[in-house]
Amino acid sequence: MSVKPQSGSDLFVGPFALGTLAADDGPAFPALVDREGRVLDLRTALADPALTMRGLLEAWPDALPRLKALAAEPDLDRRSLTEFRVLAPVEPRQVFQSGANYRQHVIDLHVAHRAPDDDRSEEERRAEAAEIMDRRAAEDLPYVFIGLPSAVTGPYDDVTLPAWAAKPDWELELAVVIGRPAYQISPEEALEYVAGYTIANDLTDRATVFRRDMPQIGTDWLRSKNAPGFTPLGPWIVPTESVGDTSDFQLTLKLNGEVMQDESTKDMIFDVARMVAYASQTAQLLPGDLVLTGSPAGNGMHWGRLLRDGDIMDASITGLGAQRTRCTAEDV
């Protein structure tokens, strides 16, 4: 099940954004959405019946000027956003996920995941984590791992909580959308390879993050993060030039109307440019790929309240719109 968004000027920052939409009985298509909630089918506007969002991003340097011109053209045939379902804005080939990139979040997790034989006070463990974070920011590298595109779902789709997931948690994140192939680029040039930004909620089963049967091999991101639907994405890709500086975006997640996460990207240890550049040192980033930049403090482990059947998450990031996700328990 998915819900349809409301139109309105608070959808996103800038004159337009991009989305992947579908009528109830039709195929998905890439769309230009304006701030009045009007939709332009880019297959028709760009005379390419087979166009997809990934295809658009693969031609991003040439496509962007054409999109700006379309957004400014008053006489084109547009329809209301409320007529369509909003899907994940892009189907990425690769998803690069960042861990431990918000200072306060890492400190909270360090305390929450206390080893059974660690009898130090919470204050001592917080002080240790703070020292580690300061040292990482000055001397270390981002922590990046790979997610599965099959975990991506739409911004208003229900998410099924697997029966085996004992501690499902939320993780609201700023997601970078790549617009040009990038390999071994520097932080100084990294933003030139970014087409835009969107919202991701990187759900995680805390109970399976660490391998209990073989602790020496560490984390199990396949098991804990990649169930179907565990990455609600979107609703929009907002172009980089509309977004501007991402250093002070507010990330807010509400659970059943109660604010759980409400933090600025100022708390990031590594900024967007460093994150994208770092991922590119090993892998070639491709148009449409996602780089998730980590989640701030306020996860369920911090509150002692994990996701359960019937929960509704409302997530927003400054200028990028909002998503609403309902959790349903898996039928067993």
43 token code pair: 């297959």
Query: Per the domain annotation, does 155 fall within a domain?
Result: yes
Looking at the structure, do residues 256 and 312 belong to the same domain, yes or no? yes
Could you list the residue range(s) of the whole structural domain that residue 202 is in? 95-329
Looking at the structure, do residues 67 and 145 belong to the same domain, yes or no? no
Q: Classify residue 50 as exposed, middle or buried by CB count within 10 Å of its CB (0-12, 13-18, 19+).
A: exposed
Tokens 């501690």 belong to 167
Q: What is the pLDDT of residues 178-215, one digit of tens each?
A: 999 999 999 999 999 999 999 999 999 999 999 888 88
Query: Per the domain annotation, does 33 fall within a domain?
Result: yes
Q: Of 87, 104, 124, which one is at a domain's C-terminal end?
A: 87
Which residues, 6 or more positions from 262, have their beta carbon under 8 angstroms from its beta carbon? 250, 251, 252, 253, 298
Looking at the structure, do residues 274 and 315 belong to the same domain, yes or no? yes
Query: Per the domain annotation, does 27 fall within a domain?
Result: yes
Query: Per the domain annotation, does 1 fall within a domain?
Result: no
Looking at the structure, do residues 80 and 218 belong to the same domain, yes or no? no
154 and 199 in contact (C-beta within 8 Å)?
no
Looking at the structure, do residues 82 and 124 belong to the same domain, yes or no? no
Query: Per the domain annotation, does 76 fall within a domain?
Result: yes
Query: Per the domain annotation, does 316 fall within a domain?
Result: yes
Looking at the structure, do residues 82 and 107 belong to the same domain, yes or no? no
Q: What is the pLDDT of residues 222-275, one digit of tens each?
A: 999 999 999 999 999 999 999 999 999 999 999 999 999 999 999 999 999 999
Q: What is the pLDDT of residues 150-171, one digit of tens each?
A: 999 999 999 999 999 999 999 9
Half-sphere exposure of 297 (CA within 13 A, CB side): 15
pLDDT at 8 over 50: no
Q: Per the structure, how many domains does the chain have? A: 2
86 token code pair: 């909003």
280 and 182 in contact (C-beta within 8 Å)?
yes
Q: Classify residue 28 as exposed, middle or buried by CB count within 10 Å of its CB (0-12, 13-18, 19+).
A: middle
Q: Of 46, 63, 87, which one is at a domain's C-terminal end?
A: 87
Looking at the structure, do residues 100 and 82 belong to the same domain, yes or no? no
Query: Per the domain annotation, does 9 fall within a domain?
Result: no
- Report the pLDDT value the prediction gives residue 138, as an integer from 0 to 100: 76
d(CA 77, CA 169): 42
Q: Of 28, 56, 87, which one is at a domain's C-terminal end?
A: 87
Query: Per the domain annotation, does 8 fall within a domain?
Result: no
d(CA 222, CA 263): 27
Looking at the structure, do residues 82 and 189 belong to the same domain, yes or no? no
Looking at the structure, do residues 297 and 178 belong to the same domain, yes or no? yes
93 token code pair: 């080939």
pLDDT at 111 over 90: no
d(CA 88, CA 199): 10
Which residues, 6 or more positions from 207, have their beta carbon under 8 angstroms from its beta carbon? 165, 166, 167, 224
Looking at the structure, do residues 107 and 60 belong to the same domain, yes or no? no
Q: What's the rounded mean pLDDT across residues 115-131?
A: 81
Range ranked top by mean pLDDT from 8-17, 114-123, 172-181: 172-181
- Report the pLDDT value the prediction gives residue 40, as an integer from 0 to 100: 97
Q: Classify residue 214 as exposed, middle or buried by CB count within 10 Å of its CB (0-12, 13-18, 19+).
A: exposed
Q: Is the pTM of this model over 0.75?
A: yes
